[in-house]
Structure 1
Amino acid sequence: MRGLTGLMGFMVGVLTACGGAVSTGTAVSGPSPAASPAGSPVASPAPIPTGPNVSGCFTEADGKIFEHSGGLPGVITGDGPVGVVITYERRGTVCTWRPLSDRLVAAGYRVLLYARSSSALPEDVAVAMARRLAKENGVERLFLVGGSIGATTAVPAALRLGAKVAGVVAVSGTINTQAAARLTAPLLQIGSANDDYGGADDLARAHDAATNAVSNETMVIPGESLHASALFTSPHGKDVLDRIVAFTDRHKD
């Protein structure tokens, strides 16, 4: 019995380390409060939402909560005429993209974030989410933003959507060169120089291929291996967020 218990504990550890958990409407608990000095009050963790929410970090106070793909949740925040669809990396959640979402909403964009099943093809779901956002009253154009696999599939998704797409932002993606060569919408790639996926060499290949893009920009963070949304909370976070908002502002009309 003791051996079985140990084996089960080992398997749980392996599955946790592998990541890829599906983000659903079930709220996730926040981090445990740090220990306080003797005599100091212990900070209470943030309350966990009990109503409709996306991964516990977006609620109806942030925008419209909706369901897609068999009950998975999503949220539309902001009310601007230009929409942004965000597709997170395989081991990410909508929560790790909140810094970008908040910046975009503050800049006047309408942002859609959604939980995604690991079995769903990110390209297909991104296209479906873009078409959903395009139906919102007042939305005129769309940007596709993705991290890692979400960035890799953002370009083929944009090709399927056509003229409605104002631009593509690919963070730590490895974009197929043939797809990049067909893209005419503006493209911004961002990544860390030493990242194993979406590093400097990957970005350079896609940049060289994207000769038909109206604008073809690349931002490489030197000496780093930070991946996708990890960039937002790094010391480079402000520069990365500023660059994305500047890009969308230039190409939204």
Structure 2
Amino acid sequence: MTKLSVNINKIATLRNSRGGNVPNLLKVATDIQEFGAEGITIHPRPDERHIRYQDAYDLKPIVITEYNIEGNPIDNFMQMVLEIKPTQVTLVPDSVDQLTSNAGWDTVKHQSYLQEVIAEFKNAGIRTSIFIDTDLKLIEAAATTGADRVELYTEEFATQYEKGNKEAVKPYTQAAILAHELGLGINAGHDLSLDNIQFFKQNIPHLAEVSIGHALISESLYLGLENVVNMYLHRLQ
């Protein structure tokens, strides 16, 4: 079964909008796990506009499933991850002022840099994943960085699927097959939703984990958080 990791950035955004501690991020993370999710994902950014660096530390004893921290491996991020030692770190090439992740790594151009960063995380016993597009040359290059997994950037699939173009899943299928052949685990994330997750899961072999935040939290406004978590789990079976 593909694991569901819930990205709680939007919970932190809502909390920060009033300056207090409502909703309580730690309580929400605890509840999400009790509802059945197999992981918690956060993506702290340098301006701390949603997840704060302190949140990452505070969540460490709360997350009893899998703890996934995403971000660009700038110095502060690397120091934080190495101190917390989450289950997984997902490397994302965001700029400092990035609104949301909108591209994967060029694993050819940044090969040596990624090798250096990944070696440091792996020496600390942290599973590493690279946020990446479906270009097969980039998948091949990802396999030589030392990474354990790749996370397929699924915005293009989600956009095309909404338009009725189910053929858009094919590059992701091919990328997953190649990644598996090269010894990489396969994660996926970005714009996956209740509408498209089952189709995506059915067409992606060896899919280990999906990380879902914006859609899941938005759907929960109408359907309730516990209900939505279980709807995702059902579709991922």
Shorter-chain TM-score: which interval?
0.3 to 0.5
Higher Rg of the two aligned structures: 1
Q: Which has the higher relative contact order, 1 or 2, with Cα contacts under 8 A spaced 6 or more apart? A: 2
Larger helix proportion of the pair: 2
> What TM-score do the two structures reach when normalised by structure 1?
0.38
